[in-house]
A and B are shown apart, each in its own frame.
Chain A
Amino acid sequence: NAGVTQTPKFQVLKTGQSMTLQCAQDMNHNSMYWYRQDPGMGLRLIYYSASEGTTDKGEVPNGYNVSRLNKREFSLRLESAAPSQTSVYFCASSSGLGQPQHFGDGTRLSIL
C-alpha cells in the first residue's frame, strides 16, 4: 500500500544544474500538489494540479515547472537550481481540492 511515492529521497546539486523530482500516487486521486518546507516558514505551495490535464501556480512558483504526466504522476522540475531552492520538498495528493491531503515522505534537496 504505497500511497504517495517520491523520488529521489535526497539530492545534492550544484548551482545552475537542473533536475526533476518525481511523484506518483496509487490512490486514484484527482488532485496533486508540490510543497516546499523551510524552517520557520511552514508548508508553502509551489504548484498544484486540480485534476489530470490542469496545473496552476501556488504561492511560490518562481524557478519551478511542473508536469501532470497522467492521473498518477506529477513531476516538479528545477531548470537552473539556486541555493535559495535548498529545502525539503513534499508531494501530496487528495481526492479533490478541499479534501485532506496525503503526503509522500519528502525529498531533501541541497543546492551548493
Chain B
Amino acid sequence: RKEVEQDPGPFNVPEGATVAFNCTYSNSASQSFFWYRQDCRKEPKLLMSVYSSGNEDGRFTAQLNRASQYISLLIRDSKLSDSATYLCVVNPNAGNNRKLIWGLGTSLAVNP
C-alpha cells in the first residue's frame, strides 16, 4: 500500500457544485496533514493544515478520520478559480523529525 493515496481524477463539476476528495494514508501514527493546491505549471501552495479532527476555512472543509486513516477535502459552491490539482500531504510521525509524504494529487476542473 502506498504511504499516501489519492484518486487522480479528473473531477469535472459545474460551478456551484460541492465536491469532495479523499486521501488515504498507511501510517497510523501520522499526526498532521496538509492540503495544497497546485495550478498548472505553478508551485504548490498551502491550502489548509489539519492537526485534529478537521478544519474549516470559508468554502473549504478538511476532515480527518483516524479510524479509517483518511482525510477528506470538501469544497462547497465551487468556483472556476478552484480548478487545480489538490495535493494531500502527511506528516508520518509525531514531532518535527520526519519528512512530509506527498500524494500525487487529485485534478479538479470546475466548468461554467
Contact = CB atoms under 8 A, between A and B. Distances in A.
A97 B99 contact: yes
Contact of B97 (A45, A88, A97, A106): A97
A38 B99 CA distance: 20
Give the dominant DSSP class at B's interface: loop
A88 B43 CA distance: 10
A98 B43 contact: no
Given A105-B43, A106-B43, A98 B95 contact: yes
Interface residues of B, number: 24
B59 interface: no
Nearest to B102: A43
B99 A105 contact: no
A96 B31 CA distance: 15
Interface string A26-56: 0000000000000011110100100000000
Interface in A84-105: 88, 90, 96-105
Interface stretch (B19-27, B44-52, B62-70, B73-81): B44-52
Contact of B98 (A98, A103, A104): A98
Interface of A: 40-43, 45, 48, 58, 88, 90, 96-106
